[in-house]
Amino acid sequence: MPPVLSRTAIALNNMGVEMLHRHLFIEALATLHDATRLMKEILTNQHVEDEWHMLRRAQLRLCQRKSASFHSSFSKNFPVFMDLTDDPTSFIKSMKNAQCHQHNTLYTIRISDIDTACYEDLDMQSAILLYNTGLANHFANHSYSTMPSLMKLADNLLQQITPEENELFIQAATIQLAIWHCCSTIPYLSHLSKALPSRARELEAMLSPHNAVSAAAA
């Protein structure tokens, strides 16, 4: 059986996503960094500290509130975070919605069902974790050079999944669209989105064949 992320790494990913939704960006980054360390352990067989301590720290971070210095007017500059739906057609429709772009919506990804084929693939799991870590890195103002690298790594991992893998490919393609949407929404990542639109349109056509047929007939 191929290696997969530990349940602890998956739990940390989902807790990090919850922190992003609460605008606890520094806490989210720390939590997702712990998850990536566990991912590295799977890939390199390196030992890391007790997973229980990682979970305990993440639980304590979830109990925190925004600091008093986090002014409400400042928080309005942050995007609306939404969970990426498992329904590709609905996701594509929401991306086309002008109101969605107006409100600067970004999509986070929870690994919500580890018993399905979509989430038993290490490339898929790693790409999701890298993508979420990139978002946390950006909003925690940690490093402007790190997020593009993480997005590229996530996209490269997803490209390893081929159309022959059916359900897995559809999920991977949907996440690639989320990466493209993120890059086109955040100004300093716009140079990355310019390299993705043609593939994004191809993926969109594959995920929404009815729309593709209608466009061809027009």
Q: Is residue 128 part of a domain?
A: yes
Q: Is residue 164 part of a domain?
A: yes
pLDDT of residue 14: 93
Q: Which two tokens stand for residue 27?
A: 């806490």
Q: Which of 106, 127, 112 is nearest to 175 (CA)?
A: 127
Q: Which of 55, 195, 62, 37 is nearest to 130 (CA)?
A: 37
Q: Which two tokens stand for residue 176?
A: 């690639």
The rounded distance, in Å, linking the Cα atoms of 199 and 41 is 32
Q: What confidence category does residue 117 fall into, taking pLDDT thresholds of 50, 70 and 90?
A: low
pLDDT of residue 218: 35
Lowest mean pLDDT among 56-60, 111-115, 122-126: 111-115
Q: How far is CA 12 from CA 7, 27, 55, 202, in A?
A: 9, 11, 7, 33
pLDDT of residue 61: 94
Q: Is the pLDDT score of 1 beyond 60?
A: no
Q: How many domains does the chain have?
A: 1
Report yes or no: 72 and 35 within 8 Å, Cβ to Cβ: no
Q: Is residue 178 part of a domain?
A: yes
Q: Is residue 195 part of a domain?
A: yes
Full domain range(s) for residue 152: 7-217
pTM, two decimal places: 0.81
Q: Is residue 211 part of a domain?
A: yes
Q: What confidence category does residue 58 fall into, taking pLDDT thresholds of 50, 70 and 90?
A: very high
Q: Is residue 185 part of a domain?
A: yes
The residue-averaged pLDDT of 111-138 equals 81
